[in-house]
Amino acid sequence: MKKIINDPNQVVQDMIKGLVAAYPNSVKQLPGTTVITGFDVPVDNKVGLVSGGGSGHEPAHAGFVGKGLLDAAVAGEVFTSPTPDQVFEAIKAVDSGSGVFLIIKNYTGDVLNFEMAAELAEAEGIQVEKVVVNDDVAVEDSSFTTGRRGIAGTVFVHKIAGAMAEKGGSLNEVKAVAEKVVNNVRSMGMAISPCTVPAAGNPSFELADDEMEVGMGIHGEPGIERTKITSADEIATELTGKILEDIEINRNDEVAVMVNGLGSTPEMELFILNGKVHDILTEKGINVYKTFVGEYMTSLEMAGCSVTLLKLDEELKELLNAESNGPAFHS
């Protein structure tokens, strides 16, 4: 295992220390926790937004803490859900009396632990609502979840729910628009090389030099097929095609596109892939309103990518365009 780390069992704390040092005027760590919050939380008369999950997916989730985005992110151990007490601390830190909204990726541990934290908060009189993101069209169930997995489409939920909260939306309004995003966003990924969890020291799976796995999850969960590696155009066609089979997007509809790298994929390759995604959508008469290319939800040093499509209406377009400012997301 080759990694630029100190103690494999301290990578999360070391990462948080470095993150806060990089953005001292915008984020801070709650003492004694793995919670990263905005510098000015709680914000008066504003719904607080909390998300998080296992570490190893950076910049998710701490990179999306900021104005018009999350108020707090909770970092679990690598590929491991944060504990309920950590999530509870985040909820308390961002609550201004207007309620707290949880954005949860659909993994069994995350759902259970965030829901337990919500119960603890409600027992103290904090109103909590939630949404569970399940945008991955590849597989229905996996080793980490019941139902579809939550992957890079979660970032669109952060952005749009964050914008609604920033403009003064109520807890119910934030929940409604987050659910609208979940209903209209789909993703699918693939991998050409594995990743290594620091504490484990060995790759999470094996792929031959000429193989790729289509539908691979962000923790190394199996996909739908393992095949010989093909061209970027063929990969884009397969991923985009599976998404369009799963959601009704018609001619003249507008979408936001995200082409996301999993940690070790050069931007050159992501842009090549993005070009074909745009070609496919143009051929179908689907209008691309906005495009995001880069690393938004990674899997340590896994090489691969995911494609996300978000079907837009006027409300979602307005919120997608709203000002936001986090370490990994500016608009």
Tokens describing residue 41:
């939380």
Cα–Cα distance measured from residue 99 to residue 94, given in angstroms and rounded to the nearest whole number: 9
DSSP 218: T
HSE on the CB side for 237, CA within 13 Å?
6
Q: Which residue is associated with the tokens 């229905």?
A: 140
Q: Which helix (H) or strand (E) holds 161?
A: helix 154-166
Specify whether 61 is catalytic. Answer: no
Burial class (CB in 10 A: 0-12, 13-18, 19+), 222: middle
Specify whether 219 is catalytic. Answer: yes
Burial class (CB in 10 A: 0-12, 13-18, 19+), 292: buried
Tokens describing residue 210:
């000429």
Cα–Cα distance measured from residue 228 to residue 89, given in angstroms and rounded to the nearest whole number: 46
- Bridge-partner residues for 46, per DSSP? none
- What are the residues whose beta carbons fall under 8 Å from the beta carbon of 130, sequence distance 6 or more? 101, 102, 103, 104, 114, 115, 118, 175
Q: Which residues have a catalytic role annotated?
A: 57, 219
